[in-house]
A and B are shown apart, each in its own frame.
Chain A
Amino acid sequence: MPSKVVDALKDSFKDNVTVLSDNGVEDVIVLSDKKLLKEAAKLIKKIHDIVFLITVVDRNPTFEIGYVFSNYVDKSILNLRVNIMQDDLSIDSITSVFPSADWEEREAYDMFGIKFNGHPSLKRILLPEDWPGHPLRKDFKVTDDVRNWTGLDLKF
């Protein structure tokens, strides 16, 4: 059974969406243009209530951001993927549409350094705020500087 939300997305975005899986239970679609994300999120909001999680995969030089949407009525989920390039790591925030994306976006910023435009308070969530670097990127190396960093002004 094809899902309503995938049909709606195909109707409004035409060539900009690629459907990888459309079985009404676990749909996977790829959005080719990151500028359309917020518009797509508003459309998805009509059917899905929450964003479960936001994942980021570093496929050097592109970063693949995955949004997992779901709802409280049936168990279907929608997996929306957006690719962004390494030299422009910014994307629109969908926190204004889905409030549960707030901390997920902060975590993605913390670990990968992706800037979410329009996020209400984009700061680190897991690491200390003055911590240098973004540790889950592929080009991040655990050097002695990182190992010995304590962030403390120690006198002894």
Chain B
Amino acid sequence: MNPLDNKENSAGEFSYSGLGDIVFMKAEKFIDTVLNWSRGWSLWPVTFGTSCCAIEMMTFGATKVDADRMGVLFVGDSPRQSDLILVSGTITKKMARRLLNVYEQMPSPKYVIAVGACNISGGLYHDSYNTIAGIDRIMPVDVYIPGCPPRPEQFQDAVRVLRKLIQQNEIKRYAKQSS
């Protein structure tokens, strides 16, 4: 389901489908919903910038677009206290191991945003001997940001989409872990 044309929740994008019928839920789903509601508001990112897209990612954290007000605090830069990884930049084959190493250190409810054409399909380097043609070959990806490089506003939009997916319990990978 594309969250952007979700007509059922017509109260606008700042409503949470889960909260409306909280009374009739199973306890397990209730816990998930409440947890996911809170997770969506504090996505601390690991900033995995390797090339040009990283410059736009820095702008995303800077004053004009200001990721902080969306709960995306560029403070930790340690994978062990983060729950979102922003993979921005070309991932070479040598870097793939390091990327997975960082990803595996993150504690479990973790979300991935693939930034730029390079991370979607390889982009300019899709036919090269030394790039991973799309990081979804090596790790699960929740939100893709198209562009070469994408504008900082698109990062903002991606975080909004990701938050919505989380709060609507659309990301199933961690559903079992709360039971």
Contacts and interface: CB of A to CB of B under 8 A. Distances in A.
* A and B bind: yes
Size class of A's contact patch?
10 to 19
Nearest to A131: B93
A128 B138 contact: no
A142 B127 contact: yes
B94 A147 contact: no
A25 B59 CA distance: 46
Interface string B132-168: 1100011010000000000000000000000000000
Contact of A142 (B93, B94, B128, B140): B128
B128 A127 contact: no
Contact of B100 (A131, A133, A148, A152): A152
Main secondary structure, interface of B, reads: loop
A20 interface: no
A150 B93 contact: yes
Nearest to A151: B93
A20 to B, nearest CB: 33
Interface string B80-121: 000000000000011011001000000000000000000000
8 contacts: A128-B93, A135-B130, A142-B129, A147-B133, A149-B93, A150-B96, A151-B93, A152-B96
